[in-house]
Amino acid sequence: METYLLDWLSLLLRWAHLVVGIAWIGASFYFIWLDNHLEPSSDTKLAGDLWAVHGGGFYHVEKFKAAPPQMPARLHWFKWEAYWTWITGFFLLVLIYYVGADLYLLDPAVRSLSKGAAIGIGLASLIGGLVVYEALCRSPLRSNDAALGAGMLVLLAAAAWGLCQVFSGRGAFIHYGAILGTIMVANVAHIIIPGQRRMVEALAAGRTPEPKDAIAGKQRSVHNTYFTLPVLFTMISGHYAFTFGARWNWLVLIALTLAGGLIRVWFVMRHKGRAPAWPLILGVGLLCALMFLFVPKTEEQATPVKFEEVKSIVEARCLGCHAHKPTFPGLNEAPKGIVLDTPDRIRAQAAMIQAQTVIARAMPPGNLTQMTDAERAVLARWVRGGAKLD
């Protein structure tokens, strides 16, 4: 019953995280688009306006240079989408990666850690990443966007490398994304929203707002925009073992971060009109390079393997999780619904077995069942030989 309830909690948290995340990212993307599509206005009080049609209705949006002639009775703030995205994401991190640390976070082949130590390192990485980011943004680099961007790239590269030295690939990738997500929501909570509040209060009192609030808010908003695609990648990375299970997985993580950031740069520039193609070409080029590097190596000939040998390996190393009624603690059903309890089902999943256990070596998680290199080689030869049942 406990496992069943945890499954429901996981489902509801994932659903909520997805919903509020869409709301936050959607609002962010919309306002970036809106700012870059405003038309010049004859009204000197306006920075621009825009007409749009959607859902059978027409909308007229105006952006003021400073304050409107009269502050409205109700002013909408976009903040809770960000806060709840982080809150639901953090609880998911705890539920899946901390409660289930043996399955998803720890990998003795990477680093021998106790569950408590791993959780402590994970939490420290979130705090440490935010502290170093803040130090960079408050340093002299803040006045030079290119230098600040280079500093953040060094920070992220160090985080990716360090996390991949202590956690399983899956655990490292999700913590990397959690660092970015923590930075993003902190930008909203203690820079963007407080600065906007001070600006509104100044305008309501007839004072000129401090320019530093607008400058800092804009800078942090831009950072959040470029972090978005890398964060979204880490959210789905657990489904693709060829990324987090790669030998140089931290370099894969950095390359995909750069690709996502460059593609987002191109989209932001494109909103303003014609955009140079180099950010898009570089971003897509990085993705193509990774695709080429991930191509599985094959051997011309494969020594025939009897299915009984394959079946015994699967039963010893995989069936604890991938059965109708898993025996591994904390699992109520087979992960992703993949059941390997009959010859036909094993054969049907031959490509998955090769991808997860041979190429990415992501299964078993943390090699909990101690699958040997010789056993992985047997599975590889069986698949290359046609995955026969005789």
Long-range contacts of 353-360 (CB under 8 A, 24+ apart): 353/314, 353/379, 353/383, 354/296, 354/379, 354/380, 354/383, 355/241, 355/242, 355/296, 356/241, 356/245, 358/383, 359/241, 359/242, 359/245, 359/296, 360/241, 360/242, 360/244, 360/245, 360/246
At residue 79, φ and ψ (nearest 5 deg) are: -140, -40
Cβ-count burial of 332 within 10 angstroms (0-12 exposed, 13-18 middle, 19+ buried)?
A: middle
Report CA Rg, the chain.
Answer: 25
- Closest C-alpha to 232, from 17, 16, 77, 33: 17
Residues 346 and 278 in one domain: no
Model confidence pLDDT, tens digit, residues 209-256: 888 888 888 899 989 999 999 999 999 998 888 888 888 899 999 999
pLDDT digits (tens, 9 = 90+) for 16-55: 999 999 999 998 888 888 888 898 888 888 889 999 999 8
pLDDT of residue 299: 55
- Structural domain ending residue among the three candidates 248, 269, 293: 293
Task: Supply 326's token pair.
Answer: 């898993």
Asked whether residue 360 falls in the same domain as residue 277, the answer is no
- Asked if residue 389 is part of any domain, the answer here is no
Indicate whether 114 belongs to any domain: yes
Q: Which of 262, 293, 324 is the last residue of a domain?
A: 293
Return all residues near 208 (Cβ < 8 A) that are at least 6 apart.
Answer: 66, 202
Is the domain of 338 the same as that of 285?
no
How distant, in Å, are the alpha carbons of 128, 134, 135, 136, 155 from that of 148?
Answer: 18, 11, 11, 7, 11
Q: b/e string for 232-250 if b means 16 or more Cβ within 10 A? A: ebbbebbeebbbbbbeebb
DSSP code at position 46: E
Q: What is the pTM of this model?
A: 0.85
In a domain, 71, yes or no: no
pLDDT at 342: 85
Helix (H) or strand (E) holding 63: strand 57-64
One domain, residues 245 and 372: no
Residues 241 and 162 in one domain: yes
For residue 299, is it within any domain? Answer: no
Do 352 and 283 lie in one domain? The reply is no
From residue 174, give the alpha-carbon distance in Å to each of 152, 162, 179, 358: 18, 13, 9, 22
Answer whether residue 288 is part of any domain: yes
Residue 73, domain member (yes or no): no
Question: How distant is the alpha carbon of residue 104 from its chain centre?
Answer: 16
Same domain, 12 and 54: no
- Please provide residue 295's backbone torsions phi and psi, each rounded to the nearest 5 degrees: -55, 125
DSSP 173-225: HHHHHHHHHHHHHHHIIIIIHHHHHHHHHHHHTTPPPPHHHHHHHHHHHHHHH
Would you state the pLDDT for residue 157?
95
- Which residues of the chain, if any, have pLDDT below 50? none
Q: Are residues 28 and 125 in the same domain?
A: yes
- Residue 336 forms part of a structural domain: yes
Considering the domain architecture, whether residues 335 and 186 belong to the same structural domain is answered as no
User: At 11, is the secondary structure helix, strand, or coil?
Assistant: helix
Asked whether residue 248 falls in the same domain as residue 374, the answer is no
Establish if 127 belongs to a structural domain.
yes
Does the CA dihedral 232-83-121-365 come out positive or negative? Answer: negative
Query: Sign of the C-alpha dihedral, residues 18, 282, 362, 114?
Result: negative
d(CA 173, CA 178): 9
**Which pLDDT score is estimated for 187?**
95
- Whether residue 356 contacts residue 363, with contact meaning beta carbons closer than 8 Å, is answered with yes
Structural domain of 49: 40-66
- Asked if the peptide bond before residue 230 counts as cis, ω within 30 degrees of 0, the response is no
Residue 92, both tokens: 């998911």
d(CA 287, CA 52): 35
Query: Structural domain tally of the chain?
Result: 3
Are 281 and 364 part of one and the same domain?
no
Residues 243 and 146 in one domain: yes
What b/e string do you get for 17-34 counting C-beta neighbours within 10 Å, with b at 16 or more? beebbebbbeebbeebee
